A and B are shown apart, each in its own frame.
Chain A
Amino acid sequence: MFYLLLITTFAQFAQNGTIKMAVLSLKRNKSEKGKPLASRQDRPFTSPIASAVVTVIAILWTIPTFGLLVTSFRGKEDIVSNGWWTSFTSLNYTLENFRAVLFQGSSTLGNQGMIPFAINSLAITIPAVVLSVGFGLLAAYALAWVPFRFSDQVFYGLFALQGVPLQLSLLPLLTFFSGGIQIAGHTVFPSLHIVGTFAAVWLPHVMFGLPLVTYLIHNFVSSLPRELLEAARVDGANHFEIFRRIVLPLSVPAIASIAIFQFLWIWNDLLVALVFAGGTDDVAPLTLHLANLGGSLGSAWENVAPAALVSIIIPLTVFFSLQRYFVRGLLAGSVKS
């Protein structure tokens, strides 16, 4: 049923040609390079073989997820006795697994079900996305439009930090969160005492995400027309007013696409949660709980499959409903204009 919902949502968006729209908007920027193609339909060279190959690959790509979907609606006995693809002959499906995963719990799932972990995921993801995009936007404006002496150096420095794998900061940051900073026995910075709280998980996400977020938003903010900002300045507006009245409203599409990017990235993260959630269920997000379930239950698919499905339903919904922004954000970061 979930899948049906997905398919309809997604067929709707397919019809609107959302990805195509993003691509077209990208093309508009580049039209001076050569005559851009108006649309696919104008192309005389469509190939049925290409269509067939792509269709087959698309189906192959979807089968694994589809298998998980079917499995999560099958009874325990059915799951262990035969493959999910054989279930289409008997059509013996049940919602029992979802009741266990969402509300009832089970001997293996614990008595909590998945909902508390989903709320943990939100409590990590929402602050992390808002703060990283918020601080990133402010910094991008400052780097693009506030002239100061080391502007270039700060820009390149921030960009270079993108190249630091987060593996490099896990241990020192964790030590910092639990024990502050000591130099030669003196406490230079006191402990933040946040280990085991949500802040200990979302704060690293903000820190790790900022260089990329700032860079992507900077790409956009720095391309705003100079005349517009100059005109506002001549009218007596200062940086705070220009930011609030001009830059912020104009950046909404860029912010949206980067926020979705960040949302998916943080929601889907495992490593940061594993290190900073402090090993307690109180702040563990869905991914962490799911990784533990997959490890400890191994083959208890009547629990693992619906749990996995629950965990991917939110990012998939975000993705399909906001696909246009998402793809645009992706392109902003990767295709050089």
Chain B
Amino acid sequence: MITWSSLFETSWPKIAQILLVLAIFFGFYGIAFAAGARVRGKSQNKLALVLFLGPAIVLALTGLGIPAVQTFIESFKNADSSKWVGFANYTRAAKDPDIRLAFFNTMLWIIVTPLITTSIGLALATMLNKMKREALAKSLIFMPMAISFVGGSLIWNLMYQFQEPTRPQTGLVGQIFMWLHLTPQHLLLWSPWNNFFLMVVYIWGTTGFGMVILSAAIKNIPADIEEAAQLDGASGFRLFRTITVPMVKTTIIVVLTTAMVGTLKLFDVIHTMTGGNFKTDVLSNRMFDEIFVYLNNGRGSALAVLIFLGVLPITYYNIRSIRAERNN
């Protein structure tokens, strides 16, 4: 039993810490701004750069830049990072059946999930465009975006609960199996289909994102173009294929690539629902297990580098389009 006094006892240091951090941040910049306002001439540029840009660069470099290089180096060392082993971590990863499976599953995820979320998102966005009162439906489909994948995983664990066919079903999916006269299955143990049941969780969680963005893009299609096409006799699917899709192509690519990067880094769903067991492991979860469970820094780092290499083409593409946009 928790009492208010014991709750207060354990909580006030935490709340004090929050306030302290905020006080330091705002206090420091309060003073800096008061002092900075008096600086005139050329030196104000330098001072502004140090105080404005300095922290962001230092934080981003210590948090991402330098560690990325370190991980790259680690990936050529052994389990406790004491010896150089060349490409051994990579070659061993290529031979290890568990890691190969994780690699294969990741590929499956990258191909299947972005296609499904983007297709459903595009279909929904198109249909929402033909609907009068869309806000409620939109919010409901978008809602899982605000729920953590841990929460989402538990929600779907409940859906997937297994009971023997002779007992009353407690999981809705099992009950649907019964209604369809199929035998209920241990859905999360049922390889290789369990991969797809895990994907359902991710698709459920992220389709709202694509839908909202694509819906905005579709509403941006000038009405006269659509009207002209309709006067020419295009309607339904043909209108969708010849007008809608080409007009929102860039947005479709944004949604697809975002989903691809997301699935490549996918961790929470696998960790919470199967822990990578039952042949559902993916690279990101395997990488975590290698480092923090099997304590093999080298091999874990090699897997992290592989994930990075997977994201790299997309990053390159994004930088190129940002460059083109800025130069315009």
Interface with B: A88-96, A168-176, A224-232, which one? A168-176
0/1 string, B109-123, CB within 8 A of A gives 1: 000000000001000
Interface with A: B10-18, B89-97, B190-198, which one? B10-18
List B35-64 residues whose CB lies under 8 Å from chain A: 36-37, 39-40, 44-45, 48-49, 51-53, 55-57, 59-60, 62-64
Given A64-B204, A68-B155, A126-B22: A111 and B2 interface contact (C-beta under 8 Å) = yes
Chain A's interface: helix, strand, loop or mixed, by majority? helix
Tell whether, in the assembled complex, residue A115 and residue B67 are in contact, meaning their CB atoms are under 8 Å apart.
Answer: no
Q: How many residues from A make CB contacts under 8 Å with B?
A: 144
Given A65-B144, A268-B147, A315-B146: A208 and B271 interface contact (C-beta under 8 Å) = no
With a CB–CB cut-off of 8 A, which chain B residues contact A250? none
Candidates A43, A83, A131, A287; contact of B175 at CB < 8 Å: A83
Given A11-B136, A58-B140: A176 and B52 interface contact (C-beta under 8 Å) = no
With a CB–CB cut-off of 8 A, which chain B residues contact A68? 154-155, 158
List A311-337 residues whose CB lies under 8 Å from chain B: 311-312, 315-316, 318-320, 323, 327, 330-331, 334-336
List B236-293 residues whose CB lies under 8 Å from chain A: 250-251, 254-255, 258, 264-265, 267-268, 271-272, 275, 284, 287-288, 291-292
Nearest-Cβ distance from residue A153 to partner chain B, whole angstroms:
11
Question: Quick check: is B209 within 8 A (CB to CB) of the other chain?
Answer: yes
Q: Bound state CA distance, A214 and B60, in angstroms? A: 11
With a CB–CB cut-off of 8 A, which chain B residues contact A239? 36, 44-45, 48, 52
Nearest-Cβ distance from residue B258 to partner chain A, whole angstroms:
7
Given A58-B136, A127-B21: A27 and B144 interface contact (C-beta under 8 Å) = no
With a CB–CB cut-off of 8 A, which chain B residues contact A243? 33, 52
Given A57-B124, A335-B213: A83 and B168 interface contact (C-beta under 8 Å) = yes
With a CB–CB cut-off of 8 A, which chain A residues contact B149? 268, 270
Which residue in chain B gives the minimum CB-CB distance to A11?
B136
Given A61-B204, A146-B52, A308-B155: A334 and B258 interface contact (C-beta under 8 Å) = yes
0/1 string, A177-214, CB within 8 A of B gives 1: 00000000000000000000011001110111011001
Question: Quick check: is A246 within 8 A (CB to CB) of the other chain?
Answer: no
Question: Quick check: is B183 within 8 A (CB to CB) of the other chain?
Answer: no
Which residue in chain B gives the minimum CB-CB distance to A127?
B21
Tell whether, in the assembled complex, residue A208 and residue B71 are in contact, meaning their CB atoms are under 8 Å apart.
Answer: no
Tell whether, in the assembled complex, residue A172 and residue B311 are in contact, meaning their CB atoms are under 8 Å apart.
Answer: no
0/1 string, B200-216, CB within 8 A of A gives 1: 00001001010011011
With a CB–CB cut-off of 8 A, which chain A residues contact B311? 163-165
With a CB–CB cut-off of 8 A, which chain A residues contact B158? 64, 67-68, 71, 84, 301, 305
Question: Quick check: is B189 within 8 A (CB to CB) of the other chain?
Answer: no
Tell whether, in the assembled complex, residue A62 and residue B130 are in contact, meaning their CB atoms are under 8 Å apart.
Answer: no
Tell whether, in the assembled complex, residue B159 and residue A67 are in contact, meaning their CB atoms are under 8 Å apart.
Answer: yes
Candidates B62, B148, B287, B319; contact of A312 at CB < 8 Å: B148
Nearest-Cβ distance from residue B64 to partner chain A, whole angstroms:
5
Tell whether, in the assembled complex, residue B268 and residue A169 are in contact, meaning their CB atoms are under 8 Å apart.
Answer: no
Tell whether, in the assembled complex, residue B55 and residue A135 are in contact, meaning their CB atoms are under 8 Å apart.
Answer: yes
Question: Quick check: is B127 within 8 A (CB to CB) of the other chain?
Answer: yes
Nearest-Cβ distance from residue A46 to partner chain B, whole angstroms:
5
Q: Bound state CA distance, A146 and B161, in angstroms? A: 58
Given A85-B172, A165-B304: A36 and B153 interface contact (C-beta under 8 Å) = no
A-B contact pairs, 7 of them (CB 8 A): A119-B11, A138-B55, A146-B52, A167-B265, A208-B64, A301-B158, A320-B146
Q: 17 additional contacts, CB 8 Å, given A19-B212, A238-B48?
A: A46-B132, A64-B204, A83-B170, A83-B172, A139-B56, A142-B53, A165-B308, A167-B284, A169-B67, A211-B60, A239-B36, A270-B149, A287-B150, A305-B154, A312-B148, A331-B216, A336-B254
